[in-house]
Amino acid sequence: MPFHSDNILTLDIGAGSVKMGSFARLKSGGLELVGYAIRDLSADPANEERRVEDLSAAVRDIIRENGIRPQPVLISVPGQAVFSRFVKLPPVGPDKLLQIVRNEAQLNVPFPINEVVWDYQLLGSGVGEVDVMLAAIKSEIIEQITDAIAAEGLRPDLVDVAPMAVYNTVRYNYPDLPPCTLVVDMGARSTDLIFI
């Protein structure tokens, strides 16, 4: 089945390739992969300027070859491009949680907080101590990526860290996992071990 504008469009930017997927919503509430394309990235991951040009060319090729029209896209970026830290917070009400997370981000992110785009995700059941993953990426890096994608006619709607996207996908698709599960995500330059 080809890519359609009413589907959910995703873009996974890895160290060695770009993958685009198109998902249809099922009546059951799930998703079905209906279109898929992959392009290798030939640029050296350390040469960020050339890498952005290579990313643009790869996205442009996928769009052209699959007849994709301008639409929102959900993006995942590799974990090594993002600073992440896991912290435990004391049990607090939802009204105080954001302020505590913001303070933890200012203490833990190794860059000035005004030079990064950051967010957090609550992990686990939320009973008792709260496990939180902080994620931050330099603003200039994320702007280069989203600008390159927008220049090709897609509208970046969400940016996620690849390991967290995998975590969320596994939790969504397998709600009854054993108490300790290991997911291995092998990429071109790194392998992520995700303990759930």
Contact between 89 and 100 (Cβ < 8 Å):
yes
pTM above 0.75, yes or no: yes
% pLDDT > 90, the chain: 45
Name the band, by pLDDT with cuts 50, 70 and 90, for residue 105.
Answer: very high
In the DSSP assignment, the letter for residue 45 is T
pLDDT tens-digit readout, 110-130: 999 999 999 998 886 656 788
* Rounded Cα–Cα distance for residues 138 and 117 (Å): 6
Can you give the pLDDT at residue 125?
A: 61
Can you give the pLDDT at residue 127?
A: 65
Contact between 154 and 70 (Cβ < 8 Å):
yes
The mean pLDDT value for 179-193 works out to 86
Name the band, by pLDDT with cuts 50, 70 and 90, for residue 21.
Answer: very high
Give the phi and the psi of residue 165 in degrees, each rounded to 5.
Answer: -65, -40
> Is residue 1's pLDDT more than 60?
no
pLDDT tens-digit readout, 134-153: 999 999 989 999 999 999 99
Number of helices and strands in the chain (H, E): 4, 10
As to burial, measured by CB atoms within 10 angstroms (0-12 exposed, 13-18 middle, 19+ buried), residue 44 is exposed
* Rounded Cα–Cα distance for residues 170 and 192 (Å): 14
The mean pLDDT value for 17-42 works out to 89
Can you give the pLDDT at residue 46?
A: 63
> Is residue 37's pLDDT more than 50?
yes
Can you give the pLDDT at residue 64?
A: 92
What integer best gives the mean pLDDT of the chain? 87
Give the phi and the psi of residue 103 in degrees, each rounded to 5.
Answer: -65, -40
Contact between 155 and 59 (Cβ < 8 Å):
no
